[in-house]
C-alpha cells in the first residue's frame, strides 16, 4: 500500500470493528478470505488479526509512555518557522516545514543539519500542534484586565430608563448611527444623536471615527447649539460612550450632568432616540458608506440646516 494511503491506528481499528461483524457470521472458507483482505489492508500479522477477531477490537492504553522523539533542536526550528509564518495553524505549517527550514537556513536564521531536516520531514501534524502549544506557554503575554476591570466604568453608571412623562427639559437619550455601508472595516463616519425626552428636541453631529477626541468634539458642537442645559445623559452600553475619557468629560468639563445607561440588549430603554435614528438619520443619509473628512463636513452642514 502506498505510504500516502496508509491507515492511521484509529482508522485501522475502525476498519477491523466493521469487518468483525462479517467475520463472526462467516463460515471457515469465508473467514479465510476476510483474513486475507484484512491482512492486505492493515498490514497486520494473520495471527494478530485472528486474536483481534476472537477478542476485543479496541485500542489498549499504553502501559509505558514513550520518550521524546524530537529534541530541542526541533523545538528551536519550529519556533523560528512558526514566527516566520505569522503563527499559522499546525495543519498549514507542517507541509511547509522542509521548504521553509531550507529557506531560513540559507539566510542564517537556523542551523539545519541532515538529521534535523529528516525529522522535519517526518514530524506529524499532531506533534507540531503539541510542540507549538508548549512553546506558546513560555512566550510573554500582555497583561489582561479581565472582565471585571474591563467593565469597571460601566458598572459605576446606574441602569435605568428615563420616564416617558418627564416634564423638565435636559434629560437626553443618546445613540450613535454607523455609516459603514456593508462592511464595518476601517475608519468611517458615525452620527451621534441626542433626543430630549421632555421636549423632543433633537441634535445630530457627524464624527469621523469613535475615538474619545472625536466624540468629545461632537458633544461640544451639540452643547453649543442647545437652548437649555443638559441635566442627564442616557446612552446605551457602547464603548464610545462608556469610557473613562467621556465620563471625565461629563463630570468635570460639563458640571451637574447625571450619567445613566440602558440595560444591555434592551433597545426600548432608549426608545425615543432609536426611533429618531430612522426618521432623522437613515431617512436622509440611507445605508451608504461615508469615510472621509469632506463627507463628515458635508453631513454636519446638513445637520446644521436640520
pLDDT tens, residue by residue, 282-299: 999 999 999 999 999 999
Residues 243 and 273 in one domain: yes
Q: Is 37 helix (H, G, I), strand (E, B) or coil?
A: helix
Residue 96 belongs to some domain of the structure: yes
pLDDT tens, residue by residue, 16-60: 999 988 898 888 899 999 999 999 988 889 999 999 898 888 877
Q: What does the pLDDT read at residue 252?
A: 83
Q: How many domains does the chain have?
A: 3
pLDDT of residue 88 exceeding 60: yes
Residue 203 belongs to some domain of the structure: yes
Residues 115 and 195 in one domain: no
Q: What does the pLDDT read at residue 1?
A: 43
- What is the overall mean pLDDT for the chain? 89
Residue 97 belongs to some domain of the structure: yes
pLDDT of residue 235 exceeding 90: yes
4: DSSP letter: G
Q: What does the pLDDT read at residue 149?
A: 62
Mean pLDDT of 169-189: 93
Residue 261 belongs to some domain of the structure: yes
pLDDT of residue 6 exceeding 50: yes
Residues 7 and 100 in one domain: no
Q: Which residues contact 284 (CB under 8 A, 6 or more apart)?
A: 302, 306
pTM: 0.54
Q: For cell 460612550, what's the residue?
A: 241
CA distance 211 to 189: 11
Q: What does the pLDDT read at residue 155?
A: 84
Q: Which of 1-5, 182-186, 191-195, 266-270 has the least mean pLDDT?
A: 1-5
Residue 59 belongs to some domain of the structure: no
Of the pLDDT bands very low, low, confident and very high (cuts 50, 70, 90), residue 68 is confident
Grid coordinates standing for 171?
434629560
Residue 145 belongs to some domain of the structure: no
pLDDT of residue 3 exceeding 60: no
Residue 117 belongs to some domain of the structure: yes
Residues 78 and 188 in one domain: no
Residues 190 and 266 in one domain: yes
Residue 146 belongs to some domain of the structure: no
Q: What does the pLDDT read at residue 255?
A: 80
Residues 172 and 280 in one domain: yes
> What is the domain range of residue 89?
72-137
DSSP string for 209-252: S--HHHHHHHHHHHHHH-SS---EEE--S-TTTSSHHHHHIIII
Of the pLDDT bands very low, low, confident and very high (cuts 50, 70, 90), residue 2 is very low
CA distance 59 to 20: 15
CA distance readout (Å), 108 to 73, 84, 85, 87, 135? 15, 13, 17, 20, 22
Determine the distance from the C-alpha atom of residue 37 to the mean position of all C-alpha atoms in its chain, rounded to a whole number: 48
Q: Which of 151-155, 189-193, 292-296 has the least mean pLDDT?
A: 151-155
H helices present in the chain, as ranges = 9-25, 28-42, 46-54, 72-84, 90-93, 97-106, 114-122, 125-137, 146-150, 152-155, 212-225, 244-248, 271-276, 283-285, 293-305
Cβ proximity of 297 and 188 under 8 Å? no
CATH of the domain at 182: 3.30.420.10
Residues 164 and 301 in one domain: yes
Residues 125 and 158 in one domain: no
Residues 132 and 156 in one domain: no
Residues 178 and 221 in one domain: yes
Instruction: Give the residue with greater pLDDT, 153 vs 260.
Output: 260
Q: What does the pLDDT read at residue 140?
A: 74
Residues 202 and 261 in one domain: yes
Mean pLDDT of 185-209: 94
Domain boundary (88, 105, 137) is at: 137
Indicate the burial class of 289 (C-beta count within 10 angstroms; 0-12, 13-18, 19 or more): middle
Q: In the chain, what percentage of residues exceed pLDDT 90?
A: 59
206: alpha, beta or left? (left if phi > 0; alpha if psi -120 to 50):
beta
Of the pLDDT bands very low, low, confident and very high (cuts 50, 70, 90), residue 146 is low
Cβ proximity of 269 and 208 under 8 Å? no
Q: Which of 74-83, 145-154, 241-250 has the least mean pLDDT?
A: 145-154
Residues 195 and 298 in one domain: yes
Mean pLDDT of 215-225: 93
Amino acid at each position: 500500500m502506498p505510504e500516502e494511503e496508509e491507515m492511521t491506528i484509529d482508522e485501522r481499528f475502525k476498519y477491523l470493528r466493521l469487518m468483525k461483524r462479517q467475520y463472526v457470521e462467516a463460515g471457515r472458507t469465508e473467514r479465510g478470505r476476510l483474513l486475507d483482505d484484512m491482512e492486505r489492508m492493515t498490514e497486520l500479522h494473520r495471527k494478530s488479526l485472528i486474536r483481534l477477531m476472537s477478542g476485543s477490537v479496541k485500542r489498549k492504553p499504553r502501559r509505558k509512555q514513550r520518550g521524546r522523539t524530537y529534541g530541542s533542536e526541533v523545538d528551536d526550528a519550529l519556533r523560528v518557522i512558526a514566527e516566520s509564518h505569522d503563527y499559522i495553524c499546525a495543519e498549514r505549517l507542517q507541509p511547509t516545514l522542509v521548504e521553509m527550514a531550507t529557506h531560513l537556513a540559507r539566510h542564517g536564521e537556523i542551523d539545519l543539519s541532515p538529521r534535523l531536516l529528516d525529522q522535519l520531514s517526518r514530524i506529524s501534524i499532531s506533534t507540531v500542534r503539541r510542540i507549538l502549544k508548549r512553546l506558546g506557554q513560555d512566550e510573554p503575554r500582555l497583561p489582561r484586565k479581565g472582565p471585571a476591570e474591563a467593565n469597571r466604568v460601566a458598572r459605576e453608571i446606574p441602569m435605568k430608563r428615563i420616564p416617558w412623562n418627564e416634564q423638565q427639559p435636559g434629560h437626553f437619550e443618546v445613540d450613535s448611527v454607523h455609516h459603514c455601508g456593508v462592511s464595518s472595516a476601517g475608519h468611517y463616519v458615525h452620527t451621534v444623536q441626542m433626543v430630549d425626552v421632555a421636549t423632543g428636541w433633537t441634535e445630530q453631529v457627524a464624527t469621523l471615527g469613535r475615538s474619545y477626541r472625536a466624540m468629545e468634539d461632537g458633544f461640544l458642537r451639540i452643547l453649543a447649539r442647545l437652548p437649555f442645559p443638559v441635566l442627564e445623559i442616557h446612552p446605551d452600553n457602547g464603548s464610545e460612550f462608556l469610557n473613562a475619557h467621556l465620563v471625565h468629560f461629563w463630570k468635570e468639563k460639563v458640571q451637574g450632568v447625571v450619567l445613566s445607561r440602558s440595560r444591555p440588549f434592551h433597545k426600548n430603554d432608549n426608545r425615543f432616540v432609536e426611533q429618531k435614528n430612522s426618521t432623522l438619520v437613515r431617512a436622509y443619509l440611507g445605508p451608504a458608506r461615508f469615510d472621509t473628512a469632506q463627507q463628515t463636513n458635508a453631513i454636519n452642514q446638513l445637520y446644521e440646516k436640520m
